[in-house]
């Protein structure tokens, strides 16, 4: 698979529907604030928990107190902190591959709970043998959002077994239907979110976690001993982004909703579940997904093979964040029809 990823970078295809890299530009005000902060000389080490002002703004937006918030350089490292502190991890497949890669990095056992397209990607947990269950809704790669009652069902089992739940809600604002934050239903929850998707700030590396104070202290310890802090000028950019939140959130969500509808229209009749959030389509293709993705790459369209997300050999993931989306989707459709 790594060869395939290398080939994408070598070939530089014209249509990039592979990575979850938003193409909506970062707002100018955010860039200006970053530069202004640098010019003011905000270039040194600061607190490992994050700037007070940023934590206050996050707390306000999330309806929690600033002591229940910690910022980190991207949500991925906060996820890593949680995985490092756990013994056995459970993930629901298909999953964002980083969970498993991080767990391997720390030598942790991973239980994979498989879901199926035929069952509308509905998780059916019969038992749970982990002390950390990772949930990710809206989901990368399926675009699935769980209803409150579906969530409750899962959380009941977590409660019974005493598992902590790590809820990766990085796509929460990009949900096209009612979204319930896990922490509303479950006390022993850690929520991670970030600025990469809604604000397109992937390269800024800025995310945050919400949890009770004791858990925040443990994450802080991890941050102090590893990354030290998020650069102050990046945190200033985050404060500015939150100031713009109300102004841009509906437009960004509507834009991705429009793209999801476009994809559903072009791919109608093929096997996938229409996304309810985030910006991906997880599509079943005839034959092997990696071979399919290679053929598409030869036609100038990059997508990820399903095996990057668990045991899904006959799937591909299409990211709706690239340019020439319509043309790319049509090429994918033709390729499926050709292979049938």
Convert residues 12-51 into a mask of x (bound to ligand PLP by CB under 6 A) and - (unbound): --------x-------------------------------
Residue 198 is given by DSSP the state: T
**Residue 12 CB burial class (10 angstroms; 0-12, 13-18, ≥19):** exposed
Contact with ligand PLP (CB under 6 A) among 97, 161, 202, 264: 202
**Residue 28 CB burial class (10 angstroms; 0-12, 13-18, ≥19):** exposed
**Residue 41 CB burial class (10 angstroms; 0-12, 13-18, ≥19):** exposed
Contact with ligand PLP (CB under 6 A) among 37, 49, 115, 140: 140
Phi and psi based region of residue 110 (left: phi greater than 0; alpha: psi -120 to 50; beta: remaining):
beta
By CB under 6 A, tell whether 275 contacts ligand PLP: no
Enclosing H/E stretch for 115: none
Nearer to ligand PLP, 168 or 335 (CB): 168
Contact with ligand PLP (CB under 6 A) among 47, 136, 142, 191: 136
By CB under 6 A, tell whether 96 contacts ligand PLP: yes
| Shortest distance (Å) from residue 153 CB to ligand PLP | 21
By CB under 6 A, tell whether 321 contacts ligand PLP: no
If we measure between CA atoms, which residue out of 283, 270, 263 comes closest to residue 326? 263
| Shortest distance (Å) from residue 139 CB to ligand PLP | 8
Question: Is the CA virtual torsion 161, 74, 56, 254 positive or negative?
Answer: negative
| Shortest distance (Å) from residue 212 CB to ligand PLP | 22
By CB under 6 A, tell whether 144 contacts ligand PLP: no
Question: Which residues would be at the binding site for ligand PLP (CB under 6 A)?
Answer: 20, 74-76, 96, 136, 140, 168, 170, 194, 196, 202, 207
């Amino acid at each position: 698979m790594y060869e395939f990823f290398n080939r994408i970078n070598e070939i530089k295809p014209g249509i990039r529907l592979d990575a979850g890299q938003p193409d909506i530009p970062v707002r100018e005000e955010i860039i200006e604030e970053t530069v202004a902060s640098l010019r003011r000389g905000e270039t040194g080490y600061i607190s490992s928990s994050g700037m007070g002002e940023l934590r206050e703004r996050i707390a306000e937006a999330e309806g929690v107190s600033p002591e229940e918030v910690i910022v980190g350089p991207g949500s991925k490292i906060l996820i890593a902190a949680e995985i490092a502190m756990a013994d056995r991890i459970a993930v629901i497949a298909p999953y964002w591959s980083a969970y498993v890669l991080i767990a391997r990095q720390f030598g942790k056992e991973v239980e994979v709970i498989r879901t199926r397209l035929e069952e509308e990607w509905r998780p059916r947990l019969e038992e749970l043998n982990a002390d950390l269950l990772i949930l990710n809704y809206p989901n990368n790669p399926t675009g699935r959002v769980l209803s409150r009652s579906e969530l409750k069902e899962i959380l009941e089992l977590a409660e019974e077994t005493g598992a902590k739940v790590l809820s990766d809600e990085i796509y929460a604002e990009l949900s096209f239907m009612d979204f319930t934050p896990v922490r509303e239903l479950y006390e022993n929850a850690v929520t991670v979110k970030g600025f990469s998707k809604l604000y397109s700030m992937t390269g800024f590396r800025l995310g945050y976690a919400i949890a009770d104070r004791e858990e925040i202290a443990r994450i802080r310890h991890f941050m102090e001993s590893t990354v030290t802090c998020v650069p102050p000028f990046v945190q200033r950019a985050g404060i500015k982004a939150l100031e713009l939140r109300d102004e841009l959130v509906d437009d960004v969500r509507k834009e991705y909703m429009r793209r999801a509808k476009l994809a559903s229209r072009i791919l109608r009749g093929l096997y996938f579940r229409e996304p309810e959030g985030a910006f991906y389509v997880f599509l079943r293709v005839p034959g092997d997904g990696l071979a399919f993705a290679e053929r598409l790459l030869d036609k100038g369209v990059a997508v990820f093979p399903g095996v990057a997300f668990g045991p899904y050999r006959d799937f591909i993931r299409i990211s709706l964040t690239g340019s020439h989306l319509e043309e790319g989707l049509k090429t994918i459709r033709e390729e499926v029809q050709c292979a049938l």
